Copies of this chain bind each other. A is one copy, B any other.
Amino acid sequence: MKTKNVVDLTDLSHEELEEVVKLANEIKNRPEDYMDACRGKILATLFYEPSTRTQMSFQTAMLRLGGKIIGFDNPQNSSVAKGENLKDTVTVVGGYSDILAIRHPLEGTAAAAAMYSPVPVVNAGDGGHLHPTQTLTDVVTLSNESGRLDHLCIGLCGDLKNGRTVHSLIKTMSTFEGNRFVLISTPELTVPRYIKDIINASGCKYTEVRSLAEAMPLLDVLYMTRIQRERFASEEEYKRQNGVFVLDREKLRTAKKTMKILHPLPRVDEIDVEVDYDDRAKYFVQTVYGMYGRMALILKLLENNTKEYPGRVMPTHPFRCINPRCISSTEKYLPGLFDEAGGDMLICKYCDGRRLI
């Protein structure tokens, strides 16, 4: 695979993504053929905030390929995290290992890490920004459970405004033909304008509805997500919405027998435990597909791997991003990097934040 780093899933070309999904399915069918595929290779998981689930998924993926793992998960205890800038840590740990998975509370960290790492960098979550291997997980699941990635009617329910997994899934599924999105949320928590623009540009369609009940009979796929309690105006509002957006057996009555229920997990209250016993519930097996997806991605990124420090990146502009949650606001040596978006608008290459010149 030509791509070196996966900061966003769109770093993969459509063909590369299909290759990864195909390989994931092959590994799933014959895992023993891949038991030594990464023999002698080391994955470093640099988790600047704890995410046990994601870290275990990466670790398991590497171990099941016959590779080894190092890393940290504990920023308070980590001398790396404390005294040292991101660049130095990535440079050094990239020297020890063959591939990095990085998670960080600040947006754009994986993009910044990729500028310094001699080995491939996979974004395991950078703040509320991107989390490409979750989307890969979703895609591998649909490929297996729905049998195709196109011409699906996909319902997305929950906090569609802030949910990075929702945005990323829509962006990716829009690149496949004939998909249709049913956006299920309160008016306050619907997807941002730019996501709707992406759907429109792709030639896919979307509808917005205000309850699970309205959407249910139409769906091939129901993608549930959490709504954080603090997103609601009041406790009463929260409780009222709960009845409309919480999935239970009753609401499933009108769904297709072949519908697939997905969830990025962890689930809190938005899916009743009783639904776990319904054959349409795929959110647990989804995590296993996630493991196969990560195995395929690691394997592809390690193809043609020659350890090499990247060339120096020069700033595009003589200032830096003003988003306080952007890594380039904190790590002062990072060059200011912007794409010009027409007019006076700049888009930060780390965090995708916009600013006027």
A residues apposed to B, CB below 8 Å: 32, 35, 39-40, 42, 44, 50-53, 56-57, 59-60, 63-64, 68, 70-74, 77-81, 83-84, 87-88, 91-93, 95-97, 265-268, 273, 276-277, 284-285, 287-288, 291, 312, 333
Contact of A56 among B32, B70, B88, B284 (CB under 8 A): B70
Q: Is the CB of B64 within 8 A of A95?
A: no
Please name all residues of chain B whose beta carbon is closer than 8 Å to the beta carbon of A96 when the two chains form the complex: 56-57, 60, 287-288, 291
Distance in angstroms from A152 CB to nearest chain B CB is: 24
Q: Is the CB of B63 within 8 A of A70?
A: yes
Please name all residues of chain B whose beta carbon is closer than 8 Å to the beta carbon of A57 when the two chains form the complex: 96
Q: Is the CB of B284 within 8 A of A83?
A: no
Please name all residues of chain B whose beta carbon is closer than 8 Å to the beta carbon of A266 when the two chains form the complex: 79-80, 83-84, 88
Taken together as a complex, chains A and B put the C-alpha atoms of A72 and B51 apart, in Å, by 11
Taken together as a complex, chains A and B put the C-alpha atoms of A277 and B91 apart, in Å, by 13
With A80-B52, A273-B87 as given contacts, are A32 and B40 in contact (CB-CB < 8 Å)? Answer: yes
Taken together as a complex, chains A and B put the C-alpha atoms of A197 and B79 apart, in Å, by 34
Q: Is the CB of A35 within 8 A of B42?
A: no
Q: Which residue of B lies closest to A44 (CB)?
A: B56
Please name all residues of chain B whose beta carbon is closer than 8 Å to the beta carbon of A53 when the two chains form the complex: 79-80, 84, 92
Distance in angstroms from A69 CB to nearest chain B CB is: 8
Contact of A284 among B44, B70, B95, B97 (CB under 8 A): B95
Given A73-B77, A88-B265, A95-B287, list of 20 further CB < 8 A pairs?
A: A32-B40, A40-B64, A42-B60, A42-B64, A44-B56, A50-B78, A51-B79, A52-B80, A53-B79, A53-B84, A56-B70, A56-B72, A56-B93, A59-B70, A87-B273, A88-B266, A91-B284, A92-B284, A95-B285, A95-B288
Distance in angstroms from A48 CB to nearest chain B CB is: 11
Q: Is the CB of B52 within 8 A of A81?
A: yes
